[in-house]
Amino acid sequence: MTHPPEDPRVRRTLQHLADGREIVFFDRPGAPERVVDDPRPLSALHPAVDIRIDPVLDEPVVIASHRQGRTYHPPVDECPLCPSTDGRHTEVPTDSYQVAVFENQFPSLWHHGRCEVVCFSSRHDGRFADLSPDQVDLVMSAWIDRTVALGGAPEVQQVFLFENRGAEIGVTLGHPHGQIYAYPYLTPRTARMLEVARRHHDENGSVLADSVVARELADNVRIVARNEHWVAFVPYAARWPVEVHLHPRQRVPGLPELSQAQREAFPALYLDVLGRLDRMYNAPLPYIAAWHQAPVREGRDLLGLHLELFSIRRTATKLKFLAGSESAMGAFISDVTPEQVAQRLRDLARP
């Protein structure tokens, strides 16, 4: 696998788990050396993964039947993402870590793709919103490293990084973590975005991502927060009860192309937005945070990196369920205007 140029502020350590899976640690210089001791009697993975094409929609569907047996809401003292301590062996077989990335034991993609787990911190009861800006930057180093490494595989077409948070979203492990999917195809969402971006470029001679950001900055009413290099806004046609998109104000195709200034400006803005979300109902908001990057080999001049952050919570006590119209027809219906949500989030800024 390929990797980005070495960053003197990051120490990268590659090790292997008992079944041969890779685990990569990302630390600041001066942190303890990461030496893996994994005595678990694990067999090499042979997951049952089949990618089938829906003949009606011409879209891929992954069949991964082995995932029925994956770990499901374990007790805190049996968390597989905490460091291995006191003779208890976990997926992170070291007594401490800053950021750890390893191959998923229950992958949705195999052979012609890859699934990885990103542990944002060794602290079990933390949240991404609790990380320091420096720790967010270290997580970004891991995201960039894995984007380059996985994107360099000849079979990979798209690298997708995301975080699911909250039991309401379907999270089965409470430890703060995210995931990375390296797809051997373009996902239906990305394929559609690329199709629309190409049509926009053919008709207008401009890049759609640039036009979207320019419109939001001009309208101003849906802006939640901004700084010199990033802008966070509720999109004009938001689908979800709470939805915020974060775009770099200077378009880049993916995380590895961010300038140093853009990287440095991201953590504070993202932590600000996450804090506002958690203050909406005075409780941690369940959400999905999804990094959209341009595909590995096409559309890199048409699609721009951005983070889509959204929640199914529509009031303090109610969730939005994707029922008939959304699930069967893909036709979203929103119960609140994007302008109202944006104003609410602006009001939740810390004094």
Question: Mean pLDDT across the stretch 84-88?
Answer: 87
**How close are the terminal C-alpha atoms of the chain, in Å?**
46
% of the chain surpassing 70 pLDDT: 99
Positions marked active-site: 177
Q: What is the tens place of the pLDDT at every residue in 305-341?
A: 999 999 999 999 999 999 999 999 999 999 999 999 9
Instruction: Let me know the angle formed at the C-alpha of 335 by 331 and 340, rounded to the nearest 5 degrees.
Output: 125
Provide the residue type at 115 as one letter.
C
Q: Are 11-185 and 189-347 equal in CATH topology?
A: yes
Query: What band does 182 get if pLDDT is binned at 50, 70 and 90?
Result: very high
Domain ranges of the chain: 11-185, 189-347
The highest-level CATH class for domain 189-347 is alpha beta
Enumerate the H helices of 115-231 as residue ranges: 133-151, 188-204, 208-219
Confidence of residue 282 (pLDDT cuts 50, 70, 90): confident
Q: Which CATH architecture has domain 11-185?
A: 2-Layer Sandwich (3.30)
Residue 1 confidence (pLDDT): 62
Helices (H) and strands (E) in the chain, counts: 6, 13
Tokens of 147: 């984007």
